[in-house]
Structure 1
Amino acid sequence: MAYNDFSAEVAENFEQKCLCVLVLDISGSMYEIVDDSNTVETGKTVFIDGKTYDVVEGGISKLDNLNEGLKSFYHDIETDETTSQRLELSVITFNDVVNVIQEPSLISNCERPFLEADGDTALVDAVYEAISLVEARKKWYKETNQPYYRPWIILMTDGEPNSDQDIVALAERIKKDTTAKRYEFLPIGVDNANMAVLQSIQGRIPAMKLKGTKFSSFFKWLSASMGTVVTAEEGQAINLTSGGTDWMESFSI
């Protein structure tokens, strides 16, 4: 795991912060087409992430929808006066390797990523990286006298972990941490994701299934939910619902 050191960073404001870490699967299967209305067959096949796919030209992939959803999410946070000053966003991507492509920051300092896909699924390593980052950022909040809300780790994946990934140990860690309310963990499965795996690592919030075309709905919900979180009073129960979208069932925290 990388060592996250924020000691040289100076706080921009002293609003109560909420860290949201997006852990995003960019394995090769994210190029799978979910809207084939404008595709042209090439007659070629490719073996990616444990499956064989027909290669086509055109169409809309899961990755296209993810990039578009991220675009709307960044815009919604940026244009909300309160959330933009309180929400810190971090983005971690994973395929064969794990990369922190956005360190925790207010949206004004974030450059929206454009994601490309390749490789397999180092899911467990990516979640541990997110946990490490959350711990380091909370330490920095305390050192700089910034109040903070419970951080969120949001995992989105369309497959299942590589065979060398220890799901059992991760499940135990997440259960322990979320029971102690160190962070909230929300696992999202896209299309062909192994939901049994995601359910095994869920914390207080159940694993959710997302249709490949519903990324925009999810990120609209997420921006609205983060807005709710950062305006809540201390100890207030928060009900996070689907907000009229159909990508998930409602739940409370």
Structure 2
Amino acid sequence: MSNYWRRLPIYLLLDCSESMAGDAFFSLGNGLNAMIGELKTNPTALETVTISIITFSSKAKQIIPLTDLLKLQIPELVLGSGTAMGSALELWTQCMEREVMKSSATQKGDYKPICFILTDGEPTDRWEDIADHVRNNIVGKQANVIGVACGPDADTNKLCRITETVIVLKQATSSSFSRFFKWISASISTTSERLESSGNKGISLPALPEEIEIQQTGKQQQFTTSDRHVFLHSKCIQNRAFYLLRYTKIIDQIDLLGSSNKPVYQAVAAHPLENFEFAEGEKTPGLQVSTSQLLGFQPCPYCGNSLWGMCSNGHVHCCPEYQNSINITCPWCKVTDTYLPQSFDVGSGVG
């Protein structure tokens, strides 16, 4: 008989798409680090828990393979375009097959893995087939899966297709993420302790904090759409630093546009980012919107310029206020153009 020490594998699938930019993304990283630190204070968790982290935006990546708590160091999370949830589910199933020790005639394998899927966005890849496979063949049989909808606008319908256990983080704020990751830590700690004492292969969920609720079975959302945000990839013309301009849809129909089926978006934020992962080969994202659909401006987070413009090569950057016309050198392609006030189409990111 082998002396193999049975592990409790924990997989975290984290949405790092554009829609997570801002407080939600910083809170996600801070909450994750706090959770790991808290788990390291639990002797039973230290003996049994192993954690893997898979991130997904334009593509899915396992940034941490299944690792013992003592050896675990969280790398920097990086935002990117898109929400490749289908790829993340596919990668997770492959990682489980490779990393989780199965029981045999001579030894017991690892305990049943627990997977948390955190997302606030609309999947941008083909996800339906792998979601059905996970729901029908993995959930409850090979792993316990908990879907986590981050924020009031997250689409729980998609998560409910993957697993029957879906919880809703009502607000994606720093305090909410902090309490949520404490809840995950408590869930993992309690489960690991009960596994060691009774061999129970289920998951033990403590009481939910006030800002987290269980998604009601059969309850369908009607308001979530794939075009709820417009993201413009922009740079500062002074220091060439990157930031995301976020516009949020405010109404589906408006007579001012002369068309009843064009959404209108309001400028709500400009997110400075040190690192950003563009989709492979991406020049301009697929969604095109007219500037006539975009209302208002958010100032550049670096230099304070109140406007933005687009060069002749389709790159967006900040722009100072001007009258009639202005010459600007694009911080992306270094081309100098003369800029005039006008309407045009611009490519938008998706998250």
Same-fold status (TM-score > 0.5): yes
Consecutive unaligned residues of structure 1, counting only runs of 5 or more, are 1-10, 33-60
Matched, 1:181 2:171: no
Pairwise CA RMSD of aligned residues?
Answer: 2.6
2:196 counterpart of 1:196: no
- Distance in 1 between the 2:106 and 2:61 partners? 26
1:240 counterpart = 2:205: yes
Counting only pairs closer than 5 Å after superposition, residues 15-30 of structure 1 correspond to structure 2 as: 15-30=5-20
Map Cα deviations across residues 3-30 of structure 1 (whole Å, 9 max, x no partner): xxxxxxxx9x843211001010111111
Is this contact kept in 2: 1:18–1:230, CA < 8 A? yes
- For the 8 Å contact 1:21–1:154, the answer to whether it is kept is yes
1:208 aligns with 2:173: no
Q: Is the 8 A contact 1:87 1:106 kept in 2?
A: yes
AA aligned opposite 1:120: G
Segments of 4+ in structure 1 off by > 3 A? 139-147, 235-239, 243-246
- The two structures have a TM-score, normalised by structure 1, of 0.74
> Aligned-pair distance for 1:186?
0.9
Structure 1 letter corresponding to 2:123: P
Partner of 1:42 in structure 2? none
> How do 1:62-101 and structure 2 match up within 5 A?
62-101=24-63
Map residues 159-174 of structure 1 onto 2, 5 A cutoff: 159-162=121-124, 164-167=125-128, 169-174=129-134
Compute the displacement of 1:196 (Å): 1.2
User: 1:151 offset after TM fit, Å?
Assistant: 0.1
The two structures have a TM-score, normalised by structure 2, of 0.54
Distance 1:93 1:236, change over 3 A: closer
Question: Given residue 172 of structure 2, which amino acid in structure 1 is its aligned partner?
Answer: G
Q: Does the 8 Å contact 1:63/1:116 carry over to 2?
A: no
Summarize the Cα distance change of 1:241–1:65 in structure 2 as closer, same or farther, 3 Å threshold: same
Between the aligned partners of 1:117 and 1:152, the Cα distance in structure 2 is 24
Identify the range of structure 1 (145-154 vs 190-199) with the bigger mean alpha-carbon deviation. Answer: 145-154
Instruction: Report SS of the residue matched to 1:134.
Output: helix
Map residues 88-127 of structure 1 onto 2, 5 A cutoff. 88-127=50-89
Please name the residue that 1:148 is paired with: 110
Q: Do 1:241 and 1:249's aligned partners in 2 also have CA atoms closer than 8 Å? A: no
Tell me the residue number matched to 1:44. Answer: none
1:111-152 CA distance string (max 9 Å, x none): 122212121110111011111111222247769946421101
Query: 1:230, CA displacement in angstroms?
Result: 1.2
Q: Which runs of 5+ in 2 are unaligned?
A: 217-351
Residue type of the alignment partner of 1:224: A
Give the residue type in structure 1 aligned to 2:54. Answer: I
Q: Which residue of 2 aligns with 1:56?
A: none
Q: Is the 8 A contact 2:8 2:48 kept in 1?
A: yes
AA aligned to 1:170 is I
Cα 1:234–1:66 shift into 2, 3 Å: same
